[in-house]
Structure 1
Amino acid sequence: MFTNDENDTFDLSGDATRGTIGTAASWLGWALLLALAIVTAIHAVAITRAYTGLNTAGGDVFSIIRVAGVALVELFAVSTAVLLATHQLKARQKPAAMALEITWAAFAAVNLISSFAVEHGGDLPAFVASWVRYGLPVSALIVGIQFYVMLRLNPDAKRADDEAELQERFTRIKHDARLEVMASPQMKAVIRQMTWQQLPPVVGRQLNLTDAQIAALTRQAPQLLDLNGDGIADIAEGQARRASLEDLAAALAQYLPDEDEGYEAVAVANPPLANGHKDGRPL
Structure 2
Amino acid sequence: MNTVQIQNITVGAQNPIALIAGPCVIEDAERTLAIGRAIKAITDRLNIPYIFKASYDKANRSSYSSFRGPGLREGLRILAHIKKELGVPVLSDIHCVTQIEPAAEVLDILQIPAFLCRQTDLVYEAARSGKVINVKKGQFLAPLDMKNVIAKIEEAGNQQILLTERGATFGYNNLVADFRALPIMRSLGYPVVFDATHSVQLPGGAGTTSGGQREFVPYLTRAAVATGVDVLFMEVHDNPPEAKSDGSNMLYVDQLEAVLNDVLAIDQVVRKHK
**TM band (smaller chain):** under 0.3
Query: Higher strand fraction: Structure 1 or Structure 2?
Result: 2
Query: Higher helix fraction: Structure 1 or Structure 2?
Result: 1
Alignment TM-score, normalising by the size of structure 2: 0.20
